[in-house]
Amino acid sequence: MRKIVTVTGEISPEELGSCQFHEHLLIREGRSREINDALFMDSWETSAEEAELLRKAGGDSLIDAQPGGCGRMAEGLARISRRTGLSIICSTGFHKMIFYPEDHWIFRESRERIADFFVRELTEGVDNHCDHEISGETAEQKAGIIKCALDVENLTPQYKKLFEAAAEAAQRTDRILLIHIEPGSDPLQLLDFLQREGMPADRQVYCHLDRAVSDSGVHRKILETGAFLEFDTIGRYKYHSDEEEIRIFKKHIGGGFGKQLLFSLDTTRTRLSAYGPTEIGLDYIRRVFVPLMEKNGVTPEQIGDIMRGNPLRALVGKENT
């Protein structure tokens, strides 16, 4: 049986409930903030208020997609989880290279050492002090999934090294890859590469294609392999309306891929209402987007798949649900 590992321990598949599959509740001060001030929220108490909103709206769980070495705050996430009862899965793995200073370990360490690091974070405990060097600490919290990111330069030697390490760690631990896709990068080339590295397609989740890749033929090719797509251009009107987002969901549901779709908000500071009262808030999907889906003809059963069934299928596999 595949495990669901949260920051406060293992949970059973029944306990996962509804899950927002790619969020950010906490990000520590660092390079991310230097690039974008919205990529900084380091108060666990403020973020707990936000988590509470989601709980009140009926949310059960989420994945925090900030990887170790890049401002992840696993201890804070555990506090939020204990205070609110929200199950939180945290990430090992790697983000886009622009989020790391030049002297960061991610550029220096070998594929083997990085794979071992990911495995250790998944099985023994995360390193809460690894934003510059790997400290070797194994904290109480464990990572549950492996976050990866593909940027426009695609599979350079550095990204190849990291994706090989992630694929190896995923297979050694039987966990999934949650993959950030940047506009202009090539997810199909990556999928092919990862399959050749031994990663089954249905253990890979491709994120943000609803804004990163406008050609729905590319979405379809990925879905045909059995991989999952996570969409989160929801309440982000500078990209497109929620109605347009629902049109993308409906297209893939109509194509027979309704059991491979996930949703989330990919929050930053400027989308969390506990940090700014006029922001949409972590409960936006349940408060606004789901009712709008229903109004636009997505059935409760189809919504239930995206909200509950598919997260479980992605994390523990078809045979276990």
Contact residues for 288 (Cβ-Cβ < 8 A; gap 6+):
235, 242, 280
DSSP lists the bridge partners of residue 147 as 93, 178
User: How many CB atoms neighbour CB 288 within 10 A?
Assistant: 15
Nearest to 200 by CA among 219, 218, 180, 174: 174
Residue closer to Zn ion (CB basis): 65 or 181: 65
Residue closer to Zn ion (CB basis): 65 or 88: 65
Q: Minimum distance from CB of 233 to Zn ion (Å)?
A: 12
Q: Minimum distance from CB of 232 to Zn ion (Å)?
A: 8
Q: Minimum distance from CB of 136 to Zn ion (Å)?
A: 27
Q: Minimum distance from CB of 73 to Zn ion (Å)?
A: 15
Residue closer to Zn ion (CB basis): 161 or 180: 180
Distance between first and last Cα of the chain = 11
Instruction: Return the range that interacts with Zn ion (CB under 5 A); candidates 63-71, 90-98, 251-259, 313-321.
Output: 63-71
Residue closer to Zn ion (CB basis): 131 or 266: 266
Q: Minimum distance from CB of 74 to Zn ion (Å)?
A: 16
Residue closer to Zn ion (CB basis): 95 or 161: 95
DSSP lists the bridge partners of residue 87 as 61
Binders of Zn ion among residues 245 to 284 (CB under 5 A) are: 266
Radius of gyration of the chain (CA): 18
Q: Is the separation of the CB atoms in 282 and 50 below 8 Å?
A: yes
Q: Minimum distance from CB of 12 to Zn ion (Å)?
A: 27
Burial 70-91 (b: 16+ CB within 10 A, else e): bbbbbbbbbbbbebbebbbbbb
Residue closer to Zn ion (CB basis): 150 or 298: 150
Distance CA(13)–CA(19), nearest Å, equals 12
Query: What is the token pair recorded at 299?
Result: 């059935």
DSSP lists the bridge partners of residue 205 as 178, 228
Binding mask 10-49 for Zn ion (x = CB under 5 A): ----------------------------------------
Residue closer to Zn ion (CB basis): 282 or 298: 282
Binders of Zn ion among residues 190 to 219 (CB under 5 A) are: none
H-helix segments, the chain = 13-16, 31-35, 44-56, 74-84, 105-108, 111-123, 157-173, 187-196, 209-212, 216-224, 242-252, 284, 290-295, 300-304, 310-316
Instruction: Return the range that interacts with Zn ion (CB under 5 A); candidates 64-72, 196-204, 251-259, 290-298.
Output: 64-72
Contact residues for 217 (Cβ-Cβ < 8 A; gap 6+):
none
Residue closer to Zn ion (CB basis): 164 or 266: 266
Instruction: Return the range that interacts with Zn ion (CB under 5 A); candidates 58-66, 68-76, 77-85, 239-247.
Output: 58-66
Please count the residues of the chain. 321
Q: Which of helix, strand or coil describes residue 29?
A: coil
Distance CA(242)–CA(292), nearest Å, equals 8
Instruction: Return the range that interacts with Zn ion (CB under 5 A); candidates 57-65, 72-80, 83-91, 159-167.
Output: 57-65
Q: Minimum distance from CB of 178 to Zn ion (Å)?
A: 9
Q: Minimum distance from CB of 82 to Zn ion (Å)?
A: 24
65 lines the binding site for Zn ion (CB under 5 A): yes
Residue closer to Zn ion (CB basis): 258 or 281: 281
Give the number of residues in contact with Zn ion, rule: CB under 5 A.
Answer: 2
Q: Minimum distance from CB of 180 to Zn ion (Å)?
A: 6
Question: What does the binding site for Zn ion look like in residue numbers (CB under 5 A)?
Answer: 65, 266
